């Protein structure tokens, strides 16, 4: 499918920089907020943010259904309304930490956010349309249009009937109590809690029920492959990750951290799409000795959980490391998890800090 | 002062990528909005977004004044309130287009935004405090703390008395009708319309009147120098720039544009901190022939003006270029405007497009 060159140079190409200037991560001090403020949530847009108007927006639900639906935003807002906190992460998060590095959006660690989404559950809508017995996949089409891997396309992703009917899946028109921002899919997007973000199609215009497995460009693109021509494995749910708020204060350019000696509370968040987070461990010596962190409340498995650990910091140089384990048994690896397109790399965060004498 | 290495490699270092992952520009299709939506506005944060609380926030106005002031947010909100649309741009916008490239935040062209700011004018506050006759500068201190050029510092910038008393200058607590977002300086920031963004100190805690020219780190850092050890010239007002919404649709990775043949309206925005925009010209041949664009309304000189030009696009390869002229006589240069720290590089935008047969 798509050619996806690998580069050995740790420096990032001008093309990657163009993407990094458009898309953006959540500065890690943003982990302090239960709900990620508007504009701090990570953002990955394949093509352009399309121009959309909420008053004329239509969603088609069609294909192999008994009653095709054609809905305006107000129609949807008149249905059952739910609000859910959901942690979203880009499947490419961690890609730029790989060597060799797959050329695409060069994420380090920041491609995450936890927002409060308001919308309507998808399952009742699909029930109302009435899926034909032969339906295999639901294809979700967004309004963003472009070229990728020589294929001109509207952005499209699919879900199996079973996954689409999951009670968590919703169509959202609000984020953090405000109408969706243009860059987050205004006026309407799909939201698939627990799954990497590429599944939650923004600027949603159509849901088509199809009798075959959908193999559109973005379905083939988001596969975990050891080599470019492998069949690969679908990228679906989010593998566990824990991130720490880098303690102390930064140096502007290198972002190295300086911490005053004394007792420090190291804090952060952890999440997984495969189950609840059951353990977060912190090391201050680069990953040899580990200390269990105290976990806060995780109201639902699809939002992040806060964690905290005390550290008696004495002057010196340290490498702080944090790793999470979920109740499906997934543990974050210490080494980068390499694959050809750089998906699902949930290797642990490492934060070098210099502790100086307290003052 | 600060060592500021230059690199010849067009590829961007891991340190620059770290900055690009935190800070972000406005995707250029964002030029379509009169007011830049929350989260699309460019953002440059020197250190960390500090943790702040609006209910306990205090602003000190002190130093060489007759009556030092200690104000809460409610005190400020009880004063004269104004709302102003202001175009802000980072002084380093365009830096990553330079060769050799100064190592810092690697901006291409996107470090801009036009927001609607609500707050109180600064001049009456300074009048109430009563500046002593010997006051030369007002020093504005933000709550973000870090190390830069080996100097540990709270972020600080100053204005001369004359510049600080300008009626446009304000202390803002709202952006686009909402309380300031954490990353934009919540709960209070300085706003200096017409000046590059480094002057508009975020998370403002103190305004100190001092009897000498303030020469803090950030005053020496933001100077236009031909060589590292030059005295240099203060970076102050924004030099004119015009940006175009890239027409057609993009290729995901290269961001090259594909346009269908036919009549196309090329549109964008132009701004300058030195005066009104009086002319915007567009070239479709890389900068040889120029066509005047039609300018829209520019209600005040400190916000951007929309422009538009029709293009009969025939199949082929083109390089679109746009340049602005302000009424102070500043014209955007065709070549990159090199200086040691990469400030004020307002060289024209160049947009390569492929026009294909209309369908």
What domains are there in chain B, each with its CATH number?
6-234 (3.90.420.10), 241-356 (2.60.40.650)
Question: Which of A164, A144, A168 lies closest to A154 in space, CA to CA?
Answer: A144
- Contact residues, chain A, for B17 at CB < 8 Å: 12, 16-17, 20, 96, 106, 108
DSSP class per residue in A99-166? SSEESSS---S--EEEEEEEEEEHHHHHHHH-B-TT--EEEEEEEEEEEETTEEEEEEEEEEHHHHT-
Is the torsion defined by CA of B149, B151, B154, B156 positive or negative?
negative
Average pLDDT (B186-196) is 98
Query: How far does CA B200 lie from the centroid of its chain?
Result: 9
Q: Please determine, for residue A1, whether its predicted confidence score (pLDDT) is greater than 50.
A: no
Q: Are B122 and B59 in contact (CB under 8 A)?
A: no
User: In this structure, how many other beta carbons lie within 10 angstroms of the beta carbon of residue B73?
Assistant: 20
Longest dimension (CA), chain B: 72
Average pLDDT (A278-303) is 96
Q: Please determine, for residue A281, whether its predicted confidence score (pLDDT) is greater than 50.
A: yes
Average pLDDT (A24-41) is 97
Angle at which helices A14-22 and B14-22 cross, to 10°: 20
Residue with tokens 């075959």: A212
State whether residue B197 is helix, strand or coil.
helix
Residue B194 tokens, joined: 């017409």
- Contact residues, chain A, for B246 at CB < 8 Å: 48
d(CA A269, CA B53): 21
d(CA A291, CA A276): 19
B74: Cβ contacts below 8 Å, ≥ 6 apart: none
Average pLDDT (A199-222) is 97
User: In this structure, how many other beta carbons lie within 10 angstroms of the beta carbon of residue A25?
Assistant: 27
Average pLDDT (B171-190) is 98
For the whole model, what pTM was predicted? 0.96
Residue with tokens 């997984």: A272
Q: Are B103 and B16 in contact (CB under 8 A)?
A: yes
Average pLDDT (B211-238) is 96
DSSP class per residue in B140-157? EEEEEEEEETTEEEEEEE
Residue B171, strand partner residues? B120, B190
d(CA B356, CA B359): 9
- Contact residues, chain B, for A46 at CB < 8 Å: 252
Pick A25's closest partner by Cβ from B21, B96, B103.
Answer: B21
What percentage of chain B carries pLDDT values higher than 70?
Answer: 98
End-to-end Cα spacing for chain A: 58
d(CA B304, CA B273): 10
Q: Are B114 and B302 in contact (CB under 8 A)?
A: no
d(CA A211, CA A133): 9
Pick A249's closest partner by Cβ from B23, B47, B252.
Answer: B47
Average pLDDT (B288-293) is 98
User: In this structure, how many other beta carbons lie within 10 angstroms of the beta carbon of residue B29?
Assistant: 20
Question: Which of A243, A244, A247 lies closest to A258 in space, CA to CA?
Answer: A247
Average pLDDT (B215-238) is 95
Q: How far is A220 from chain B (nearest CA, A)?
A: 15
Please compute, for residue A187, the number of CA atoms within 13 A of its CA located in the half-sphere on the CB side. 15
Q: Please determine, for residue A279, whether its predicted confidence score (pLDDT) is greater than 60.
A: yes
Reported as type and span, the H/E element at residue A77 is helix A73-77
End-to-end Cα spacing for chain B: 58
Q: What are phi and psi of B288, to 5 degrees?
A: -95, -60
Question: Which of B266, B291, B273 lies closest to B346 in space, CA to CA?
Answer: B273
State whether residue A78 is helix, strand or coil.
coil
Q: Please determine, for residue B288, whether its predicted confidence score (pLDDT) is greater than 70.
A: yes
Q: What are phi and psi of B50, to 5 degrees?
A: -75, 160
Residue with tokens 């010849």: B8
A19 with B110: Cβ contact below 8 A: no
A104 with B253: Cβ contact below 8 A: yes
A21 with B21: Cβ contact below 8 A: no
d(CA B354, CA A275): 47
For A93-147, write each residue's pLDDT tens digit: 999 999 999 999 999 999 999 999 999 999 999 999 999 999 999 999 999 999 9
- Contact residues, chain A, for B251 at CB < 8 Å: 146-148
pLDDT for the residue A5? 85
Q: Are A96 and A108 in contact (CB under 8 A)?
A: yes
State whether residue A179 is helix, strand or coil.
strand
pLDDT for the residue B359? 61
For B83-133, write each residue's pLDDT tens digit: 999 999 999 999 999 999 999 999 999 999 999 999 999 999 999 999 999
Burial (0-12, 13-18, 19+ Cβ within 10 Å), B151: middle
Average pLDDT (B214-229) is 95
Residue with tokens 């020093």: B139
Q: Please determine, for residue A287, whether its predicted confidence score (pLDDT) is greater than 50.
A: yes
B10 with A14: Cβ contact below 8 A: yes
pLDDT for the residue A3? 56
d(CA A23, CA A17): 10
A65-74: long-range pairs with CB below 8 Å, 24+: A65/A129, A65/A130, A65/A131, A65/A132, A65/A135, A65/A209, A66/A129, A66/A130, A66/A132, A67/A128, A67/A129, A67/A130, A68/A129, A69/A125, A69/A128, A69/A129, A73/A173, A73/A187, A73/A188
Give the chain A residue nearest B45 (alpha carbons): A252
Query: What is residue B200's DSSP assignment?
Result: S
- Contact residues, chain A, for B51 at CB < 8 Å: 29, 32
- Across B29-109, the runs of DSSP E, i.e. the strands, are 58-63, 69-72, 82-89, 101-102
Give the chain B residue nearest A248 (alpha carbons): B146
- Contact residues, chain A, for B24 at CB < 8 Å: 21-24
Residue with tokens 């801009």: B112
Pick A108's closest partner by Cβ from B17, B37, B110.
Answer: B17
Q: How far is B307 from chain A (nearest CA, A)?
A: 18
Radius of gyration of chain B (CA): 21
A2: Cβ contacts below 8 Å, ≥ 6 apart: A148, A149, A217, A220, A221
Residue A173 tokens, joined: 């028109």
Average pLDDT (B35-61) is 97
Pick A258's closest partner by Cβ from B14, B38, B147.
Answer: B147
Average pLDDT (B275-294) is 97
Instruction: Encode B84-125 in three state secondary structure.
Output: EEEEEECCCCCHHHCCCEECCCCCCCCCEEEEEEEEEEHHHH
B32 with A41: Cβ contact below 8 A: no
Is the preceding peptide bond at B123 cis, omega within 30 degrees of 0? no
pLDDT for the residue A359? 61
Triad A344, B20, B199: Cα angle to 5° = 150
Average pLDDT (B206-211) is 98
- Contact residues, chain A, for B15 at CB < 8 Å: 253-255
Pick B48's closest partner by Cβ from A29, A39, A152.
Answer: A29
- Total count of residues recorded for chain A: 359
For A53-66, write each residue's pLDDT tens digit: 999 999 999 999 99
Residue B71, strand partner residues? B59
What percentage of chain A carries pLDDT values higher than 70?
Answer: 98
Residue B232 tokens, joined: 């240099």
- Contact residues, chain B, for A12 at CB < 8 Å: 11-14, 16-17
A45 with B27: Cβ contact below 8 A: yes
pLDDT for the residue A28? 97
């Amino acid at each position: 499918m798509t050619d996806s060159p690998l580069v050995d140079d740790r420096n990032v190409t001008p093309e990657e920089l163009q993407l990094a200037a458009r898309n953006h991560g959540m500065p890690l001090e943003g982990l302090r907020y239960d709900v990620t403020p508007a504009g701090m949530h990570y953002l990955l847009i394949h093509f352009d943010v399309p121009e959309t108007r909420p008053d004329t927006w239509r969603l088609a639900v069609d294909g192999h259904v008994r009653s095709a639906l054609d809905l305006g935003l107000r129609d949807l807002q008149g249905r059952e309304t739910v609000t859910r906190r959901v942690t979203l992460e880009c499947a490419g998060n961690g890609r730029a930490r790989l060597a060799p590095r797959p050329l695409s959006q060069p994420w380090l660690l920041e491609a995450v956010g936890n927002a409060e989404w308001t919308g309507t559950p998808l399952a009742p809508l699909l029930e109302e349309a009435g899926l034909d017995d032969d339906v295999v996949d639901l294809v979700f089409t967004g309004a963003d249009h472009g070229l990728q891997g020589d294929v001109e396309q509207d952005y499209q992703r699919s879900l199996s009937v079973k996954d689409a009917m999951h009670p968590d899946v919703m169509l959202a028109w609000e984020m953090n109590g405000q109408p969706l921002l243009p860059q987050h899919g205004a006026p309407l997007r799909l939201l698939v809690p627990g799954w990497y973000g590429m599944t939650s199609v923004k600027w949603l215009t159509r849901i088509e029920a199809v009798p075959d497995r959908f193999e559109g460009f973005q379905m083939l693109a988001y596969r975990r492959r050891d080599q470019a021509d492998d069949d690969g494995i679908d990228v679906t749910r989010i593998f566990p990750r824990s991130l720490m708020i880098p303690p102390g204060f930064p140096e502007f350019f290198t972002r190295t951290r300086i911490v005053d000696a004394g007792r420090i509370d190291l804090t952060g968040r952890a999440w997984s799409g495969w189950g609840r987070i059951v353990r977060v461990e912190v090391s201050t010596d680069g990953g040899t000795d580990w200390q269990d962190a105290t976990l806060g409340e995780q109201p639902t498995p699809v939002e992040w959980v806060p964690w905290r650990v005390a550290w008696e910091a004495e002057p010196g140089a340290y490498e702080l490391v944090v790793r999470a384990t979920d109740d499906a048994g997934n543990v974050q690896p210490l080494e980068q998890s390499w694959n050809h397109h750089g998906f699902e790399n949930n290797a642990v965060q490492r934060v070098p800090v210099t502790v100086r004498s307290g003052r």
